[in-house]
Structure 1
Amino acid sequence: MIGFFIKCALALGSLWATVSLFMNGYWGWGIVMILVTAFIGIFFFRHERIILAFYQMRLGNQEKAKHHFDKITAPQFLPKKQRAYVIYMQAVLGAQENGFSKTEQSLRKALAIGLRTKHDNAIARMHLAGVCAQTGRKQEALQLLAEAKKIDDSGMLKDQIVMLQNQLKMAPSANQMRMAQMMGGRKKMPRR
């Protein structure tokens, strides 16, 4: 919230300086200040932490990207699409630390807000299907994979979707998982 007020103050100060430079006849400096004002204005539409995090993702450094996404403490003040991406990336990058229920909630929230590209929607549904498969909801996972396959027009995720579907065919159902837990796990047969 304080960052938002600082951005507002910088933008207003820069706009005032630009107008006063033009009014006083300093055209060269006025043009320079237009560029500075435009640069400051970009950060109203793009959060600097998101830019840094995606840059780190492009370099392949997921730890630093997660660090930058975690530094965004109030995503509710971001524009709608950026908020969806922040929630989505926090869920994907922090899946192991957060656990299945929190990851599932975050992915569903990001999908409800709306991700910009079809590719990201397909990946989010694929991750959500993986979470559902891990928690024993096989039918829901298959449904999410079918939706992801339908959304993925370019076929970039075709191999991953087929691999997950094959794994789900071999996975035990929720009832079988409960029975195994009640029986103390699978008993090993002694060698003969």
Structure 2
Amino acid sequence: MPNYIRLILAAIILGAAITLMIFGFWGWGILSVFIAILITVTFFYNEYMLIAQYYLRKDNMDQAGVWLSRIKNYETQLFSGQHGYYNLLIGLIESRKAPLQSEKYFKRAISLGMTMDHNIALAKLSLAGIAMAKRNKREATLYLQEAKKADKNKLLADQIKMMKEQMGQMDRTVQQRNYRQF
């Protein structure tokens, strides 16, 4: 169902609730108001994305993918503020299957924008990991610096520190290979 139809449906139910209360059916009117509020909330927070986030927290990527696949056209089904989060969730699921293929989703999530800084930091940290896998140290360093800047609450500080240590180990392995060649 297109997202704006939810708002129209919520307005109709709210109108019916007011009508019920005017005619003295307070119980049904209050229940209808709660239903209208619930439908309005699903305009801003899509239920499929909420369920997918739940399964991501439980580390059940298959179920999260199933719930996200129910969103056929995210541009019409989701509020524009959720487009970046949708691509972030798809990128997180894809990073488990094919890490290098998930890069486009993370970049699209950053370009579409997200309101929470720690989600931006997560996307940039993931891009840094992908750049390290491609042996592109300069790009990985750039993404790590941006992730550290975006992580204002220090939620990803340990992961950023670990990624920097891995980059240091990457330099040592390159130096050891070059030393063995001579």
- TM-score after normalising by structure 2: 0.80
**Residue of structure 2 equivalent to 1:144:** 143
C-alpha separation in 2, matches of 1:47 and 1:156: 25
Are 1:70 and 1:90, in contact at CA under 8 Å, matched by a contact in 2? Answer: no
Match of 2:123 in 1: 124
CA distance in 2, matches of 1:4, 1:163: 41
| CA positional deviation for 1:86 | 0.9
Equivalent residue, structure 2, for 1:111: 110
Other structure's SS at 2:24 match = coil
Greater relative contact order (Cα 8 A, min sep 6): structure 1 or 2? 2
What residue number does 1:43 align with? 42
How many equivalent pairs are there?
175
Unaligned runs of 5+ in 1: 177-185, 188-192
- 3-state SS of 2:105 partner: helix
Higher share of residues assigned helix: 2
1:11-160 paired onto structure 2 within 5 Å: 11-77=10-76, 78-100=78-100, 102-160=101-159
Whole-angstrom CA distance in 2 between matches of 1:26 and 1:154: 49
Report the AA paired with residue 90 of structure 2. Q
Deviation at 1:47?
A: 0.6
What is the RMSD computed on CA atoms of the aligned residues? Answer: 2.9
Give the alignment's TM-score, normalised by structure 1: 0.76
SS of the residue aligned with 1:38? helix
Structure 2: unaligned runs, 5 residues or longer: 175-179
Query: Identity of paired residues, percent?
Result: 29
Offset at residue 80 of structure 1 (A) = 2.8
- Is the alpha carbon distance of 1:150 and 1:3 closer, same or farther for their aligned partners in structure 2, counting shifts above 3 Å? closer
Larger Rg over CA atoms? 1
Q: CA deviation at 1:122?
A: 1.3
